[in-house]
Amino acid sequence: MNALIRRIPAGPDMKFKGVIHPLIISPARVAELFDVSQTPQGVWVGAGCSLSELCSVLEKLLPQFPEEQTELFRALNQQLGNLGSQQIRNVASLGGNIASAYPNSDLNPVLAAGNCKVSVVSSGGKREVPLNQDFFVGFGKTILKPEEIVVSVFLPFTRKGELVRALRQALRKEASFATVTTGMRVYFSEGSRVVQDVSIYYGGMAPTTVSATKTCKAIIGRPWDDETLSQAYDVLLDELALPPSAPGGKVEFRRSLTLSLLFKFNLEVLHKLKEMNVITDEVPEKIAPLPRQIQPSLQEFQPVPKAQSDQDPVGRPMMHRSAISHATGEAVYCDDIPRSDGELFLVVVTSSRAHAKITGVDVSAALQLPGVVDVITAEDIPGKKVRTFCGYDEELLAQTEVSCIGQMICAVVADTKAHAKRGAAAVKISYEDLPDPIFTIEDAVARSSFYEPLRRIERGNVTEAFKNVDHIYEGEIRIGGQEHFYMETQSMLIVPVGEEKEFNVYISTQWPAFIQDAIAETLNIPSNRVTCHVKRLGGAFGGKVCKTAILASIASVSAWKTDRAVRLVLERGEDMLITGGRHPVLGKYKVGFMNDGRILAADLQYYTNAGNTVDESVMVAEKILLHMDNAYNIPNLRGRAAACRTNLPSNTAFRGFGVPQCLLVVENMMNDVAVVLGQPADKIREVNMYHGPSTTHYKFDFSPVNLLRCWEECKLKCEYDTRRTAVDQFNQQNRWKKRGVSIIPIKYGIAFGEGFMNQAGALVHIYKDGSVLVSHSGTEMGQGIHTKVQQVASRELHIPTSKIYISETSTGTVPNTLPSAASYGTDANGMAVKNACEILYKRLEPIRQKNPKGSWESWVKEAFFTKISLSATGYYRGPDMYMNWEGMEGQPYAYFTFAVCCSEVELDCLTGDYRTVRTDIVVDLGRSVNPSVDIGQIEGAFMQGLGLSTLEELKYSPFGLLYTRGPSQYKIPAVCDVPLKFNIYLLPDSDNPHAIYSSKGIGEPVLSLGTSVFFAIKDAVAAARSQSGLSGTFSLDSPATPERACLACSSPFTQKVPTSEPGSFKPWALNI
């Protein structure tokens, strides 16, 4: 049966666990598996029916029968809408769902509670098996015999007085496994509230779907009232006890959910009894679902100057040049390049220990497998065996010792990916564990495990200022890490050209020249033998620089040694395990403030979990300190930052480069000040903002005028004061749902702090037919840099964008490129292209003067025949940025991008689920080169920040293994997480003399404003706590997942759950 029916886990098991099914049979033509038939007692549905087909069957049945007979059908139909995605429902089958016996199954608890049964067949005949507490016997196991096939499933009609409901809670609102799911059924005889029968089944509370048998016994025969339910809650809590180390973690949350979901069912039952006129008393209001209706939203562009030519595309909303090919799938990415004859595939072999000596590497079994060509180790590297970052060496392939799970030890090359994977699995590595691995920030601090230098900056006299304030408060907040989750994983193809050790490298990277240098040093050849080609990237977010260089170095050794093309494309789980992500941060603060809310002194300490190698962690710590003032003028401010060395995979650059973590700490401090003083948080922010000519804590002068304009404009556009009042009113009227609202500003520095990083080059060719080919040093990652560069060239050459083409970024056309990062791509490369185009246009000036009425094509032809060069290089030197850490002063940024965001959420206090009802963002972009592309960047950055602050959670085992290695365990925001009303406004009448055409960089700044949703959730939680009699400051770490939000609300149900003393048990996951 397992081979026949379409099982939900079968594909993932094959892909991720290496499960091999020697025979897979499609049941599509077995008619009995798809039959649907009715009986007086109910409906038989073929087990082969997909979940989408089941949904259609139920929707057709519902209007055919009285409502009292279709309680189970409606509950199932509702639950089907929550199960997986439409694509999954189209292929997953009803029978497969049952037989898989997944402990978190959404359907099995409802089917069991509804008294369903399955019809099975084998060589021994047919039988019917009830779906009850005896059916599920273990993880993924049922009482069915191996030879039995599930043919159909019986769905009974319900009786008058019977109520069936399906309830669930999941990390994400759609396409997410349930944390806890339940099916509940209760039956009353006519005119009575005495329970005749009840079934309660849960998923997510044990290795199987479980029945709350004792709880049901405590209810049956008693009236459905508060006294009965109160006793039932206590019985249920004892009956479904989870040990504190239970797999999956979230023990307190899961136990509280069992109570909360039963309470929600209780409200449904009470309303049903009132409808049946069994009870006449007033009943508590049912908890309505969170809002889902999408509202009309606004995108407000800036007008272009009236004098601007209609043919000039700068400042106009031009579509991304590759948008259509992205949408149709025609866009070519690295792994879309056709396979060549003799091409090999590479799979890396990684460490399974976090801190150990390597005592042996046995590759003999791998080399004997079909298709395996070679196994590459550090001994095969002809040149440099390490990459050096920030003064620390990182081995390409570990030789004697490993310092994290996921560290690369060797690589297998084979003729196919499948053969390479089997070869990698056959490599045997033996270890000798080393003592005391370090995983957490606390461990690292206790053992002074840091990467040097530790950074510190101070202005004023913080110690003295603390003596002269009305209040001093100390607090802390944790911010979890974040996976890049780019759509295209790390991908590359290394092709030996065949003479003089020359290589063409097709790679997904933000920094082609860095890859070129890494490969040249690894192979001990000159850089001019290596040409890197980047057509486009399927996302990067900072994650395709350092680890990409190491992977490319390993792949290049394979290509060099075998003299064959080598392709390396990481699978999602491998990518997440190996490449690291955003740094988790522990932020501590001590703040001194006056009764009127003015902050006179603040002392902040930031610790980042850098992982097993330094990567860019020291620079991330530096940027954190440079942004710790955010939008606030704190006269006495001290900050310290340390990058902690641990035995987790090395963390790296990520969009925002430490600023989102920094901002969350600062804004949490602001919130705490507001709570201590009993004042609105927005008033505390306002009174502490920069005003007038201002100087940062590193002595950089700037004007905050546009920051204040963004603030006032956002408050006006979002109707902040009116909505604040409406939120408070909503919270008074609703016990189990609360709303929260928050408004957050940001001041984000643009450019690289090292002056040499801000240069850029370009090469522009004009061909005889008038078409133009532009090359520049930026890479297209979906952010639209090529589109904006087209607009720049169009303006400077006075020709339509249709005549301008950008093929790729290549080290063979523009040398010594710098990374596309720091929101500085268009600033630098746009200026370089502008420079080249100005040179060419000036060369054509004599011809234009001679024939002013001629066409572009005629001028170009004339220039060619009069021997005028139609090719030019462009160059932009960039500003001379610097930071003197010893003197604690500098100018590390060219300018600031300002923005303000207001978000409102609605929170279900019983489950922690929330919905972002509305978000308004006002951004100072100077004069946008392309408002539609920029607003796309604003939307994407905000959603990524929302994921960081509320959803995305990396989980590590106590031994340092990343649990969350794929989209089933790690959830990024989906369409269901987009604010229902999402307004974006570009600040009008703004300019910026420091960037091309007075624009501003926008790739990163708005990501930090996802924290507005975090603080809106915290505002809603505070309202819930207030109703429970709790006041004052409280801890809520990021991300504000449903688990954290629910437990922080401290409802009567969460208070019932006993907490385990930390240190008294080994947790399922580390608190990173």
Enzyme catalytic residues: 1004
| Residue among 202, 231, 242 at smallest CA distance from 109 | 202
Burial class (CB in 10 A: 0-12, 13-18, 19+), 298: exposed
The owner of tokens 């080393």 is: 434
| Residue among 720, 700, 742, 1051 at smallest CA distance from 894 | 700
Name every residue whose Cβ is closer than 8 Å to that of residue 70 and which is 6 or more positions away in sequence.
61, 62, 157, 158
Q: How far apart are CA 852 and CA 624, in angstroms?
A: 55
> Which tokens is 232 given?
């039932």
Contact criterion met (CB below 8 Å) for 160 and 187: no
Please tell me whether residue 830 adopts helix, strand or coil conformation. Answer: helix
Helices (H) and strands (E) in the chain, counts: 30, 42
Please tell me whether residue 133 adopts helix, strand or coil conformation. Answer: coil
Sheet of strand 804-805, all strands in order from the earlier edge strand to the far edge: 804-805, 772-776, 760-766, 871-876
| Residue among 903, 897, 532 at smallest CA distance from 740 | 903
Helix boundaries (H) for 29-151: 51-61, 71-80, 86-91, 94-100, 108-113
> Which tokens is 440 given?
């957490």
| Residue among 628, 900, 630, 634 at smallest CA distance from 745 | 900
Strand 530-534 to 503-507 pairing: parallel
Q: How far apart are CA 930 and CA 933, in angstroms?
A: 6
Strand 871-876 to 408-414 pairing: unpaired
Contact criterion met (CB below 8 Å) for 263 and 1053: yes
597: left (phi over 0), alpha (psi -120 to 50) or beta: left
Contact criterion met (CB below 8 Å) for 621 and 641: yes
| Residue among 945, 954, 909 at smallest CA distance from 1044 | 909
Contact criterion met (CB below 8 Å) for 761 and 875: yes
Q: How far apart are CA 922 and CA 843, in angstroms?
A: 42
Residues 582, 583, 586, 587, CA torsion sign = negative
DSSP 528: G
